[in-house]
C-alpha cells in the first residue's frame, strides 16, 4: 500500500469516528408512560409565556445531555424527534418526573410540579429552534 493510500484510509477512519461521536444517542421506543399519566394535560397550556422559565431550567439541567437546541448528544436522544413530540404532555411530564435512571435519564421529581410543566412547554418549543 502506498503512503498516500494509508493517509487516505486514516483520514476516512477519523472522519467516520468524528461523525459517529456527533450523532445523537438513539431513543428507546420501549420506554412508555403509563396511560393514566399520559392523560394529564398541561395546566400551563394556556400560558405560553411560562416557557421562558422552562427555557432557563432546560439550559441549567438538561442541555448538557440533550444539547442546547435539544437535538441530542452522544449522551441523550434528540427531543425534537417525531417519536418524542408525538407523545402527550402528560407522558413527557411523567418521563421528566420519573426518569429512567438505569438508561441515564435522571429523575426530576425534586423540581416543583409547575417547573416540570414549564419544561414540557420548553420541550415543545425546541421543535422550532434552529439546528446548530
Ligand atoms: C445525564 C444526562 C441527562 C440529563 C441531564 C437529562 N436527560 Fe433526558 N434523557 C437522557 C437519556 C439517556 C434518555 C433516554 C432514556 C432511555 O433511553 O430510556 C433521556 C430521555 C428523555 C426523555 C424521553 C425521550 C423519549 O424518547 O421519550 C425526555 C422527555 C427527556 N429526557 C427530557 C429531559 C429534560 C426535560 C431534562 C432536564 C430537566 C433532561 N431530560 C435531562 C439523559 C439525560
- State the pTM of this model: 0.87
Which cell numbers hold the place of 85?
413530540
- Please state which architecture CATH assigns to domain 3-128: Orthogonal Bundle (1.10)
pLDDT tens, residue by residue, 81-128? 999 999 999 999 999 999 999 999 999 999 999 999 999 999 999 998
Verify whether ligand 1 is closer than 6 Å to residue 28 (CB atom): yes
Q: Candidates 74, 77, 92, 123: which one to mutate for ligand 1, based on the most atoms within 8 Å of Cβ?
A: 77
Tracing cell 426530576 back to the chain, one arrives at 108
Measuring CA to CA, how many Å separate 5 from each of 1, 37, 97? 6, 57, 53
Distance 6 CA to ligand 1 centre (A): 41
pLDDT tens, residue by residue, 3-45? 898 888 888 887 776 665 568 999 999 999 999 999 999 999 9
Amino acid at each position: 500500500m502506498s503512503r498516500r493510500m494509508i493517509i487516505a484510509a486514516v483520514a476516512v477512519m477519523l472522519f467516520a469516528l468524528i461523525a459517529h461521536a456527533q450523532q445523537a444517542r438513539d431513543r428507546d421506543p420501549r420506554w412508555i408512560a403509563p396511560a393514566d399519566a399520559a392523560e394529564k394535560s398541561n395546566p400551563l397550556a394556556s400560558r405560553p409565556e411560562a416557557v421562558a422559565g422552562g427555557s432557563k431550567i432546560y439550559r441549567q439541567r438538561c442541555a448538557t445531555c440533550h444539547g442546547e437546541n435539544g437535538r441530542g448528544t452522544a449522551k441523550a436522544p434528540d427531543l425534537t424527534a417525531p417519536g418524542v413530540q408525538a407523545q402527550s404532555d402528560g407522558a413527557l411530564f411523567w418521563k421528566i418526573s420519573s426518569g429512567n435512571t438505569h438508561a441515564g435519564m435522571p429523575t426530576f421529581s425534586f423540581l416543583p410540579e409547575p417547573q416540570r410543566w414549564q419544561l414540557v412547554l420548553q420541550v415543545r418549543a425546541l421543535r422550532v429552534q434552529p439546528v446548530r
